[in-house]
Amino acid sequence: MNRSAGNVTSGPGSPGPATYELFALRYATRNGRRPEFFLGGDPHDVPMSIDYFVWLARSADHVCLIDTGFNQAMAGKRRREFLRDPIDALDLLEVTPDLIDDVILTHFHYDHAGNFDRFPKSRFHVQDHEMAFATGRHMVHRVFRAPYEVDEVTGLVRMVYDGRVTFHDGDAEIASGLTVHHAGGHTAGMQFVRVHTARGWVVVASDVSHFYANFQENRPLPQVFHVGDTVEGYRRLREMAPTEDHIVPGHDPLVMQKYSSPSARLEGIVVRLDAAPRVTT
Ligand SMILES: [Zn+2]
């Protein structure tokens, strides 16, 4: 447990943070309409789709998966269009689950914390507030529990009892060049991840900001636990990123357009976030 932001930077004389490759892997999608993604709606009632991602950070000696996605059965239950199994698809990046050292769960919603039982060796990193939220008084209310799956939450509790989980309270360093930051709002225990790459620190916002428009226009999604904390989270993202082009929202289809695929074979499936975007915001 670590409350000190000072521990997440390199000290004088240190060799500097490790550098990671960073990928977004798109595994599902859904067609919606623009007003459903902004609190108070939107005057433009036009189609707007939402993509589902997991993110992989890899250095010379460390592999970290950020969120674990959902599986085909959950896609059917929640009526999402399932494009590929996100864990099997890691094979496209020559990664298998047993090679993943750390799994960071940004929060426990079904689209971020499914598949948690498929990583035999990984250590899981969660915020204190998220476990308390997902197992506490607010889950009495359907509005807050709807995006959670009780079998996943209880499965994560079992992981705690198996000694597989590391809890964080605020800012923490997972490894050199890899830090997490609490930004409650969408959920009480939401965290985002900062990854040191060849183009500097990249902020994987996950659902601190679903779309670019949420943080750029300070317009929260309607599905929020706390509106004030959500908007404060947008400020935190900007504070932790060198430029807005270093912030990667959690569900925006624009991510696939802005960034390049590592190879023609991975076009439309994987993009590199550690290389500068081809389109700037
Ligand atoms: Zn989400």
SS (H, E, C) 123-187: EEEEEHHHHHHHCCHHHHCHHHHCCCCHHHHHHHHHHHHCCCEEEECCCEEEECCEEEEECCCCC
Q: How far apart are CA 39 and CA 127, in angstroms?
A: 26
User: In 3D, which of 164, 102, 156 has the Cα closest to residue 133?
Assistant: 156
The answer to the question of residue 242 being in a domain is no
Q: Is residue 196 part of a domain?
A: no
| pTM of the shown model | 0.94
Q: State the total domains in the chain.
A: 1
Output the pLDDT for position 12: 58
Instruction: Check if the beta carbon of residue 180 is closer than 8 Å to that of residue 14.
Output: no
The CA 111 to ligand 1 mean position distance, Å, reads 5
Per residue in 176-210, pLDDT (tens digit) is 999 999 999 999 999 999 999 999 999 999 999 99
Q: Quote the ligand 1 centre to 186 CA distance (angstroms).
A: 9
Nearest Cα to Cα of residue 65 among 29, 114, 17, 7: 114
For residue 112, being part of any structural domain is answered with yes
For residue 152, what pLDDT band results from cuts at 50, 70 and 90?
Answer: very high
CA distances from 218 to 104, 203, 234 (A): 26, 17, 7
The answer, yes or no, to whether residue 2 has pLDDT greater than 80, is no
156: CA distance to ligand 1 center in Å? 18
The pLDDT of residue 13 is 62
Q: How far is the CA of 14 from the centre of ligand 1 (A)?
A: 36
**Bridge partners of residue 33, in order along the sequence:** 47
Q: Does residue 124 belong to any structural domain of this protein?
A: yes
Using DSSP's 3-state secondary structure scheme, residue 217 falls into coil
- In tens, the pLDDT along 66-79 reads 999 999 999 999 99
Residues 3, 202, 14: CA angle, nearest 5 degrees: 60
Q: Which domain holds residue 47?
A: 5-172+251-272
Q: Is residue 89 part of a domain?
A: yes
Distance 207 CA to ligand 1 centre (A): 5
What's the CA-to-centroid distance between 252 and ligand 1, angstroms?
Answer: 10
Q: How far is the CA of 195 from the centre of ligand 1 (A)?
A: 19
Residue 205, SS3 per DSSP: strand
Residue 6 has pLDDT above 70, yes or no: no
Q: What distance in angstroms lies between residue 154's CA and the mean position of ligand 1's atoms?
A: 19
CATH number, domain containing residue 84: 3.60.15.10
Average pLDDT, the chain: 94
Residue 241 lies in a domain: no
- Interval 150-170 mean pLDDT: 98
Between the CA of 109 and the centroid of ligand 1 the distance, in Å, is 7
- Cβ atoms of 106 and 206 within 8 Å: the answer is yes
pLDDT at 15: 78
The answer as to whether 192 is a domain residue is no
- Mean pLDDT, residues 249-261 taken together: 97
In a domain, 39, yes or no: yes
Q: What is the pLDDT of residues 46-61, one digit of tens each?
A: 999 999 999 999 999 9
